[in-house]
Chains A and B, each alone.
Chain A
Amino acid sequence: MLLTATVSNPTEARTSALERASVAVSVQGVDKAFRMPHQRYSTLKERALHPFAARSFDEFEALRDVTFEVKTGEFFGIVGRNGSGKSTLLKCLAGIYGLDRGRVEVSGRVSPFIELGVGFNPDLTARDNVLINATMLGLSRKEARAQFDEIIAFAELEEFVDLKLKNYSSGMAVRLGFSVAIQMDAELVLVDEVLAVGDAAFQQKCFAEFDRMKAERRTILFVTHDMGSVERFCDRGLVLERGRVADLGPPEQITRTYGELNFGQLPGVADLPPSDEPVRILSAWCETADGERSTVSRQGEQLIVCVRVAFARELLDPEFTLNFRNEARHTILVASTRTLDEPTGRFEAGENVTLRFAFMNRLAASRYTITAAVGEATRGFEAYGRAEDVTAVIVQAPHYTGGVIDMPFELELERS
């Protein structure tokens, strides 16, 4: 953590440089709808029999009034749930789809690729496929041949050059596609979901490549579902939801909005049904450091879990516990008032209280469900009231380490 935390100055320099930069992409009020006929009349007979019926169709509005600007040299993330219009937006920018309304202005040469390995043919060798793919992306045949060795070397597929692509693993094919794509010297690069495949070593290489593109101040529009890479690379981003811009801003804000869109429907603040337990947990929710309710928490920031409790009878020094389980249902963290030095005190019958547990969030990126319980602290733990999975929180982190928690550490290196 310490190792990466020392780059704040270059970041500031980059931010101020971006503020001064010119606009590379300007999207103004773009609408795009697809017509989806109730029944597709695709034969002449049907059309002849129902000459007017064909006019009944549903309009599916893939993009609605999308407006944003991207500065030259900016790494711009586009996130959103499946079907929210991300790929349509990219295709509109690339000029594959026409617009229904609005205006897109692009300065600089746009890379025409949206997906990796377009035009790859399983029956051809890697050599032929690279030449075709490179031609599709805008190189001449001569240029493609000249850069061939470099492409293969980057993909680390030298031994498999003359192997047919159908004998490649899917990860190898993606590597090949990525290697071709980065050879294009486009000023504006449109990238759709590239990091989903590929092994860890190659992903690392892709990251390095992104860093290089960033350093070269190429403008990159980057569609992804991986919030980690949004936070790692993007200067800014936008969230699409049902074709509208749901949010536009710095990466932390974007990943939070995205998390809320995905998981916001969790029983975060819902009142629980009454029960005849001596202590009832009414509701629970999470807050950020500034007191706003949120279903998303960023690693390294304060996470506050609030629990509202109603006492049906008088209790002395009850124990309050929170139990965090990750997606694998492993208990990752238990916070208990038993570990505090002071007792919790006396609670009257009919009293309602709100507890706020404030954590410094060191959890790894995942979704955690929280179980709250109130019990007897003296011997073992006898629960007076308990609410399983009463709320949940999405933890977002800039890195994925593979562990269940991320501890900050300092590194000392001694060479003997």
Chain B
Amino acid sequence: MSVDTAITARSRPSALGGDLRRFWSLTYTLAATDFKLRFFGSALGYLWTLMRPLLLFGVLYFVFTEVVRFGGDIKDYPVYLLSAIMLFTFFSETTARGVTSLVERENLLRKVRFPRMVIPLSVTLNAMFNLGLNLIVVFVFVIASGITPRWTWLELIPLIALLVLLATGVTMLLSALYVRFRDMQPIWEVALQMLFYASPVIYVTEALPDSIERESMASPLTAVLTQMRYALVDPTAPTAADVIGGAARLLIPLAVVVIVFVLGVWVFMREAPRIAENL
């Protein structure tokens, strides 16, 4: 008997699986289906994905330029605000939906053998579709504001890649833990709210008190947004390296991303075999 599959007490359904083509087509199908379903039956469809960050932008813009008069002295504040909201929305959307993703896909997990990591990754991919579309709006806005295209715009690609890595790591970590601890969702909801204010979305890093300005850069979100401001909006703004005090120190937020990602993958791999049973 030529054994193609041997299952023993030690072998378990894996997180990754061996077939990359199937892995990808599953991830893509799930992400595309979610994308389609999300606004199914609503008259404006995809526009709703856009409306949420745009409305948030409208409110914040009004509050911070008209009421608190904060944004006035920041160059191209509306452009920065909008792009920061879009990037942060990507992060919050991925992770918030990612937390419950495994539990929501219970029917698949319990009935079909497939690499478990497909599920959190499909959530990230789905959010990337949205981000892609939202970025079009951002660029329209940027150009309409009279900002001339620059090569530094390309820096957005690695910046977004870092964000994707971070969001995926968090999603894998939280979704695996959520199977066992259902408090993960409310906890993460609060954490996201805190992160929103702790990151320079409605303000810029220079506005922070000097004592914590540099330390705040340890957060990858802060570092990415700060660098984004320099690269996309205002070439005279300080780069992330300027704020943290030297390019070498950028290894700190980078290390945070890597650690979160590796931790997420590790926890997920560890939990993956028993997900179907623990659901």
Q: Which of B24-32, B237-245, B248-256 contacts A (4 or more CB under 8 A)?
A: B24-32
Within 8 A of B (CB), among A215-271: none
B182-A42 in contact (CB<8A): yes
Asked if B9 and A123 sit within 8 Å, CB to CB, the answer is no
Residues of chain B contacted by A106 (CB below 8 angstroms): 3-7
| A113 partner, pick from B28, B110, B112, B181, beta carbons under 8 A | B112
Contact of B112 among A42, A45, A112, A121 (CB under 8 A): A112
Which of A97, A109, A136 is the one whose CB lies under 8 Å from B276?
Answer: A97
Docked Cα-Cα span, A108 to B6, in Å, equals 11
Q: In the assembled complex, which residues on chain B have CB atoms less than 8 Å from the CB atom of A47? A: 181
Residues of B within 8 A of A113 (CB): 111-112
Partner of A96, one of B6, B30, B113: B113
Q: Can you list, as one digit per residue, whether each of B28-54 has a CB less than 8 Å from chain A (1) or not (0)?
A: 111001001100110000000000000
Contact B111 A114 (CB under 8 A): yes
| Complex Cα gap A112–B112 (Å) | 5
Tell me if A118 is interfacial: C-beta within 8 Å of chain B: yes
Can you name 10 A-B pairs with beta carbons within 8 Å? A95-B7, A96-B109, A96-B113, A96-B276, A103-B7, A112-B113, A112-B114, A119-B107, A123-B37, A136-B114
- The chain B residues found within 8 Å of chain A, CB to CB, are 1-9, 11-13, 21-22, 25-26, 28-30, 33, 36-37, 40-41, 107-114, 180-183, 273-274, 276-277
B9 in complex: contacting residue of A96, A100, A110, CB < 8 Å: A100
Bound-state CA distance A110–B2 (Å) is 14
User: Distance (Å) between the CB of A80 and the closest chain B CB?
Assistant: 19
Contact A42 B181 (CB under 8 A): yes
**A205: interface (CB < 8 Å):** no
Please state if B37 and A98 are interface contacts (CB–CB under 8 Å).
Answer: no
Q: Assess whether A105 is interfacial by the CB under 8 Å rule.
A: yes
Whether B21 contacts A140 by the Cβ 8 Å rule is: yes
Q: Residues of B contacting A107 with CB < 8 Å?
A: 1-5
**B9-A109 in contact (CB<8A):** no
Inter-chain contacts of A105 with B (CB < 8 A): 1, 3, 5-7
Q: Which residues of A contact B12 (CB under 8 A)?
A: 98
Whether a CB of chain B sits under 8 angstroms from the CB of A336 is: no
Q: How far is the CB of A96 from chain B (nearest CB, A)?
A: 5
Residues in B with CB closer than 8 Å to A126 are: none
**CA distance in complex: A100, B4 (Å):** 20
Return A30 CB to nearest CB of chain B, in Å.
9
**Chain A stretch 126-141: residues in CB contact (< 8 A) with chain B:** 128, 131-132, 135-138, 140-141
The 4 A-B pairs with the shortest beta carbon distances in the complex, nearest first, are: A98-B12, A104-B7, A106-B5, A112-B113
Q: Which residues on the B side are within 8 Å of A121 (C-beta)?
A: 33, 37
- In the complex formed, the residue of A with least CB distance to B22 is A138
* B148 → A minimal CB distance (Å): 41
When distances are taken between beta carbons in the complex, the residues of chain B under 8 Å from A109 are 4
Q: A119-B108, A135-B26 are in contact. List 10 more A-B contacts (CB 8 A).
A: A42-B180, A94-B113, A95-B113, A96-B276, A113-B111, A118-B107, A123-B41, A124-B33, A132-B29, A140-B22
Specify the chain A residue showing the minimal Cβ separation from B273: A98
Tell me the nearest residue of chain A to B2, going by C-beta.
Answer: A107
